[in-house]
Structures are given as C-alpha cells and as structure tokens.
Structure 1
Amino acid sequence: MRCFIPLFLVSIWVGSVFSKDAALETVSKHGQLAVDGVNLVNQYGEKVQLKGMSLFWSVWMPYYYNKTTVDGIKEYCHSNIVRPMMAIDTQDGGYLTDPEGETALIDAVIDAAIEDDMYVLVDWQDFEAENHLEQSLFYFDRLSKKYGSYPNIIYEPYNEPITLEWSSLVKPYHEAVIKTIRANDPDNLIVLGTPQWSQRLDLAAADPIQNQTNIMYSLHFYAGTHQQWERDITKAAIDAGLPVFVSEYGTVNADASPPVNLTETLAWYEFMEERGMSYVNFAVSDKDEGAAALIPGTPPEKVCREEYLTESGKIVVEHNKA
C-alpha cells in the first residue's frame, strides 16, 4: 500500500537521525578511507558516512557522464559520493564490445568527482562477472594504476552476482581482482558484491575473504521488495563482523517500478543511520520509472534541481542534506 507522508514531515524525521549534509563531508575533510571492524573510518580513524547518487547504466544514459552532472549531484543532491555504472554486456553494447568508449565515460565521471572533492565508487555493472574475469582484471589493473593514488577512488568490481555460489565462484573472482588492484593501490576501499543480487550477506559472513584490509561487502535493497527480512540478514552479518556498504538502494520495487514505499524507506534509513552505514541511491536517471530521481527530459545542467526531482528524488535529497 502506498503511504503518503508530507515532505516536510520527512525532513523533520531525517533530521532526527543524526545525519549530516553529505555535500560538506568531502574528501579534503576526511581523506583516505579505511575499514575498522565493521566501520568505515576517515584518515583520523573517525567513523565517516558516504551518502550520494548512482548514475544509470553508462550505455543507456551517457549524457549524464560529465562534470555538469557531477556538479549537480554534489550541490543539489547534497552528495559526497557518485557511482558511475559501467555497462559490461548488454544487448546495446558495453565494455566487452566498446572498452575504449565505456572507459572514457567512467574516466570523465572520476575526473569530475576528483575536481569536486567527492568520493567515486566505480561499478563493474555485471551479473556474471566470473565469466569476464580476464576483462575485469585488465580494467581494474588500468584503473588502479591511473587513479589509485587518489583517496577519492572506491572500487566495486562485481555489481550483483546472481549465483548463490559464494565460496566456489564469487569469492575466488573477488580475490583475483583484489590481488590485481592491490598490486597498484594498497589502500583504497574495495566493495565486494554478494550473492543473489547483493542481498545474501549471510553467505559472505559465513566465509569472508581473509588476509585483506579495507574491504567491505555490498548490500543492495529496494524498499518495496526488501523489507524486515533483509534487515534481519544484514544485522546478523554485521553482528558477525562483516563490514557492509549499501552501494545501491531504491525507494520503490526491485524492478524499479512504483510506488515509492515511504514507510519502508524510512525504516531502512533509520536502520542504516543507527549503524553509520554508507549508501548510494539508484538512480540519477530521467527514465519514466519509479526509481528515477529525475523527471523525464531532465538535462545535465538541471540534475538534482528541486523542480526536476521525482517523488523518489525528493525523499532521497531531503535525507542526503539532513
């Protein structure tokens, strides 16, 4: 059932959950990130929280892969992190068929994020990355060589594994990519996708990657679909010592369709804020669907402007700036 709550009440609620305006929590303020136990900490060892926006798949919305968009995400979506999503293998192309073109799109966002003093989470948008290991290793070797010296960079080398085979398939893939990244970049954060579209944290908690530092495990949720049962799985994983990063979430159903489920979205915000978790909303998109933060036809220069935000976009931005 759709729950209608006036936006001013949302603003009051989010202000009560000890959030900060994420746009002010910059790289120059926090510097090199690290993982301490289950917590993300800054260069001073203080807990830090990243809140921001994911772009849509690069192959379908390349017009947002530029500095104008990143500027808007920081200033008007009140974000300290942006997540470019590099398409790997779709019916319309991706990295496997156009590595130079896709790499250039991602680099443009990375360069803009560095200039804007933001963190940037680079997503290998794949559901069967274990089948593309060679290409993935090549890409992350290049990426970590080019940008590994910047504290802005966060790696997400496997977006959403479909398979439930964590120990035999997904974990070995991650270990290979981590080894490649660490040869060039020993410090920056790596966020690791978990089975069943990054929902089965329990499988990773039962067999975590050993002898590595500054790694976290990704959780993806959509408030209309993933509710208390998913929070229970997440809580148990964190209680077991697994550091969790919400690299993608939506206020609607898992297929990106409406309606916005405000009650569950607020429950998730409370859950994440209580634990100081970082999270990135899907998506800076003008597609006519519930998960889109922008109304159809929004140009890059109007990204995140209030009059161009959807119902979902308004809720997310109100929370990011609280």
Structure 2
Amino acid sequence: MKFLLLFVNILVVSNWICPVISKDALYEPVSKHGQLSVDGVNLIDEHGERVQLKGMGLFWSVWMPYFYNQTTVDGIKNYCHSNIVRPMLAIDTKDGGYLTDPEGETALIDAVIDAAIEDDIYVLVDWQDFEAENHLEQSLKYFDRLSKKYGSYPNIIYEPYNEPISLEWSTVVKPYHEAVIKTIRANDPDNLIVVGTPNYSQRLDLAAADPINGTNIMYSLHFYAASHRQEERDITKNAIEAGLPVFVSEYGTVNYDASGPVDVTESLLWYDLMEEYGLSYVNYAISDKDEGTSALIPGTTPDKVCREEYLSESGRLVVEHNKA
C-alpha cells in the first residue's frame, strides 16, 4: 500500500509540474505550437504539450529604435536561436516615450509584431513602466487597440506592467492588472497575459498569496544573475510549488544596473532552475550599448544582429542556452 501511495503521489506531482525537454528554440515556432495556454503552473501549446519559449528582448524603444524592424527580428530568430522577441514600449522618459509620442512609439512596436508574425515566432509586448498605476487610462487605450488589431494571432503575448515598484500588490498592482486584463479579454479571450509583480517583478510570493482570478495568466519574474541570487531563487521555487505559473520575461547575466562582468556561476544556477521547472525566459537585451547586459558588441547594425562575431560575452552565453 505504501508503494502504491508513493506512486500516486509522484503521478499527481508529475501532472502538476510537467516535465519538459529543453530544445533549440529556433525549431520551436508558432506554427508548431500554436495557441498557448496555462495549465496549472505549466505553459502548454494547442496540443496540450508543455512548451518553453526562449529568446531576446529589445532595448527601450525610445533609445534604440533602429533595432525595431524586420531585419533585427530575422537575426534574433535565426542567429540568436529564439522563438520569442520582446519589444519594450517606453512610456515616460526624459527623452520621450508613449505619453508624448503615442503614434511614433506605437509604430515601432507594430513593426516588431509584424516581423514576429512574419518570422513565425511569439512576441511579448511590454508596457515599459515602473508606475503604470498612474497611467491606467493610457494603458487601457493602448491595450484595447493592440488586442483589437492583433488578438486573433496566436503569436501575441501581453505584458501590461513591466516592473512595478510598489510592494502593495493587492491594493495597487493587482487592481491595475485586473483593469487591463478586462480590456484585453473583451477583444482577445485566449492569448497569454504576463503580469508584473512587486519590487521590480521579483516578489512572486506576494502574488502567490493573492493571485488574479482569470485564465491564461502568468506572473513575471525579472532577475540579474550577479545581483539576484539564492534568496530570489528560493522565492521563485516556493511560488511555483504553491501553484503560481511563472514566466521570466526579463533576465540578465550581470548586475541589475547593467554593469559587468558576466557572472557565469550564478547565471548557470538560474538556467538550472529555469530548466528544472521548464520556465520560459527572455534575455535583456538586443543592444549595442557598451554595457554588460548588451548581447551585442558596440556598433552592431541590424543586419549583423546575433551573428556570432558580433555577440558580446553575455550574448554568447545566452545564445548557447537558447540552443540547448
């Protein structure tokens, strides 16, 4: 009887956190997996199979618009071995953003979405804001338009709040998400929504204690390996095991302030955890800025994106794992 109970317990757990075999993301496109959904803590495809997305995030749209095009996305897919790209819609910076130039910034994001659809990969559309609760009206307008225009494509994934600063999940961050989710779902009942968590998308435990009521919702984790270590990994493990579906929508191999050097040891520990739980992950960033987080060396042009000789130290480590 003890052996039977042990077998049943193992079976239940294996059905809850399904095993996933890591694969080269280049060969795991939308045409293979189709519509994504959330089953327990698992991201699954239209066939009910566990799927893992691995890819690259762009730099803020307002500062590197020259990477917001088909040529860049082609490189991200083919040479960075990615099945997902994450454009970052800058909302409010000293140099502008969506609040001051909604048409120009929207056009940049649409160009990346169109390129991702053309290239048969997923696209995670990020509202790059730290105090989105103060811009709810603008956010609702943007995601209403986005979901009306692209909601019928299985490529689309929504990220309505990049990195909430506020620790007030239940009274500030969660109500914001619920309002945006309601707007999206009026136009798009199915596509995945990844919601930001407090303290720059690191406090998964707060969301796990009071999750959002809805379907096909995951919770974002952001980490920078040299700064965020075992304590953050423990929070992540505990949240997943408590039933929270997690999506790593931004990570770096260096310090949180974008400075180097690459911390290979801590990065590998994070990769081990993400593979253990089959988490999807998106690296920051496709950038030729001279800083540690950049996947590209300075001066890289869109036609050279992700080509091996133009990858930084961080970029080489990231692409190695996108292929794994």
TM over 0.5: yes
1:295 matched to 2:306: no
Give, in angstroms, the shift of residue 300 of structure 1.
0.2
- Quickly say closer, same or farther: Cα 1:40–1:241, change in 2 above 3 A: same
Indicate the residue corresponding to 1:193 in structure 2.
196
Tell me the residue number matched to 1:104: 107
Within a 5 Å distance, the mapping from 1:41-190 to structure 2 comes to 41-190=44-193
Deviations 1:178-217, CA, capped at 9 Å, x for gaps: 000000000000000000000000000011111x100000
Partner of 2:255 in structure 1? 253
1:18 positional shift: 4.4
1:47-89 per-position Cα deviation (integer Å, ceiling 9, x unaligned): 0000000000000000000000000000000000000000000
Q: Which of 262, 265, 268 is matched with 2:267 structurally?
A: 265
Give SS of 2:99's match.
coil
Q: Does 1:304 find its partner at 2:302? A: no
- 3-state SS of the aligned residue for 2:175? helix
The match for 2:40 is 37
Q: Distance in 1 between matches of 2:79 and 2:269?
A: 24
Letter of the structure 2 residue corresponding to residue 281 of structure 1: N
CA shift at 1:263, angstroms?
0.3
**1:276-308, Cα deviation, whole Å (9 max, x unpaired):** 100000000000000000000100000000000
Q: Aligned AA for 1:27? A: V
How far apart, in 2, do the equivalents of 1:194 and 1:318 lie?
A: 28
Partner of 1:4: none
Report the alpha carbon displacement of residue 19 of structure 1 after superposing the two structures with TM. Answer: 2.2
Structure 2 residue corresponding to 1:232, chosen from 231, 234, 250: 234
**For 1:50 and 1:209, how far apart are their aligned partners in 2?**
23
Please give the secondary structure, in 2, of the residue aligned with 1:259.
coil
TM-score (norm 2): 0.94
TM-score (norm 1): 0.94
Quick one: which amino acid aligns to residue 319 of structure 2? V
Q: C-alpha offsets along residues 117-147 of structure 1, whole Å, 9 cap, x if unaligned?
A: 0000000000000000000000000000000
1:155 partner amino acid: Y
Q: Distance in 2 between matches of 1:279 and 1:209?
A: 22
Who is 1:208 aligned against? 211
Q: Distance in 2 between matches of 1:60 and 1:309?
A: 20
1:235-286 per-position Cα deviation (integer Å, ceiling 9, x unaligned): 1100110000000000000001001000000000010001110000000000
Whether 1:242 aligns to 2:252 is: no
C-alpha displacement of 1:32: 0.1
1: distance between equivalents of 2:261 and 2:195? 29
Opposite residue 76 of structure 2, the aligned amino acid is: I
CA distance in 2, matches of 1:155, 1:299: 28
SS at match of 1:35: strand
What is the aligned counterpart of 2:316 among 307, 314, 320? 314
Q: Name the SS of the counterpart of 2:226 in structure 1.
A: coil
Q: Please name the residue that 2:7 is paired with.
A: none
| Alignment partners' CA distance in 1, 2:200 and 2:156 | 23
Runs of 4+ in 1 over 3 A off after TM superposition: none
CA distance in 2, matches of 1:289, 1:188: 34
Number of aligned residues: 305
Whose relative contact order is higher, 1 or 2, with alpha carbons under 8 Å and at least 6 apart? 1
> Residue by residue, what CA displacement relative to the aligned partner does 1:11-61 show, whole Å, maximum 9, x if unpaired?
xxxxxx942110110000000000000000000111000000000000000
User: What secondary structure does 1:245 align onto?
Assistant: strand
**Does 2:285 match 1:283?**
yes
Deviation string 1:95-132 (CA, Å, 9 cap, x unpaired) is 00000000000000000000000000000000000000
The CA RMSD over aligned residues, in Å, is 0.7
